[in-house]
Amino acid sequence: MKLSHAAVAVMLLAGAQPALAGGFADEIEEQVVIVEEQSDGSVPGWVIPAALTVVLIALATSGADSEDDGGGESGGL
């Protein structure tokens, strides 16, 4: 009987060592996520790209009119 009790004690102690090895590590805490609400006073994200597109189209079309500055109907050579 003493042998079986000793064997059980040895198995329990041998199995408990790996479990105790990591018991002194710092506790992991969950990060708190704070979500800020967007204010309604700012410009929507599509306004600036749309304005830039309009400006680029206006510049491209105004550059095409500069080829017609020939001075009227001269009729060629």
Q: Which pLDDT value is given to residue 51? A: 95
Q: What is the pTM of this model?
A: 0.33
The separation between CA 56 and the C-alpha centre of its own chain, rounded to angstroms, equals 30
Where exactly are the structural domains of the chain?
5-62
Q: Which pLDDT value is given to residue 29? A: 86
Written as six digits, the tokens of 40 are 């309604």
Dihedral pair phi/psi, residue 36, rounded to 5° = -90, 135
Q: Which pLDDT value is given to residue 75? A: 54
Taking the chain, what is the end-to-end CA distance rounded to the nearest angstrom?
A: 125
Each residue's pLDDT tens digit, 41-62: 677 788 999 999 999 999 998 8
